[in-house]
Amino acid sequence: MTTLRQQFIAFSVTAGVLRFGDFVTKAGRNSPYFFNAGLFNDGARLGKLAEFYAQTMLDAGVEFDMLFGPAYKGITLASATAVALAAKGKNVPFAYNRKEAKDHGEGGTIVGAKLAGRVVIIDDVISAGTSVRESVHMIRDQGAQPCAVLIALDRMEKSGAEGALSALSAVQEVEQSFGIPVIAIANLNDLFSYLSEPGAQTELAQYKDAVAAYRQRYGVA
């Protein structure tokens, strides 16, 4: 793992955002870990999270002109990341959408800067890819170009229901469908490496085998 990835996994564990145990995912799978970005819920945690997003985007080397945050989690993530990018010397505008169009005032569904140029979509994770698909269509409808998706954690697991699993993950499906990269601060392999480190906390190291079995069953190449 890179230092940034190591730091992000450790930060997520300390913040209680990345937890280990027995959880049921949105797809109905029993998972030994759970990542809930909604728990980055105070100023210090959100600020630190935004720094990880910003640095990951800069390190990726993808040229971009602005950020877009799909409602609802993406709203906070895009605005906070814009602040973090400005602090790192790259000041870019950002926008987000409303779930329902506003029929008074400025109207419409897009709030913030006008969608233009190369746009990065920011979200926490990609589960079914629905949010990204909607965002891509909104951006293109405004004449702008989605150039990347930036997420916190790539679970790297096959999409679809039990018994009808796809060979691809939701992230890979997005990349293939829209021809844009999905950039993650960290992924399942990084999480497993964290648990496998010699200095891993005893209470966390006990979940290594469960995570390995989950990756073996649902993981993608």
DSSP calls for 16-50: TSEEEEEEE-TTS-EEEEEE-GGG--SHHHHHHHH
At a CB cut-off of 8 Å and minimum separation 6, what does 211 contact? 20, 32, 33, 188, 191, 192, 195
For residues 89 and 28, give the distance between their C-alpha atoms in angstroms, rounded to a whole number: 43
Pairing of strands 145-154, 94-102: unpaired
Q: Could you say which of 104, 114, 137, 158 is catalytic?
A: 104
CB 19 within 8 A of CB 34: yes
Q: Could you say which of 88, 102, 114, 137 is catalytic?
A: 102
CB 92 within 8 A of CB 135: no
Would you call 104 a catalytic residue per the annotation?
yes
Would you call 114 a catalytic residue per the annotation?
no
At a CB cut-off of 8 Å and minimum separation 6, what does 92 contact? 64, 65, 66, 67, 82, 85, 86
Residues classed as catalytic: 102, 104
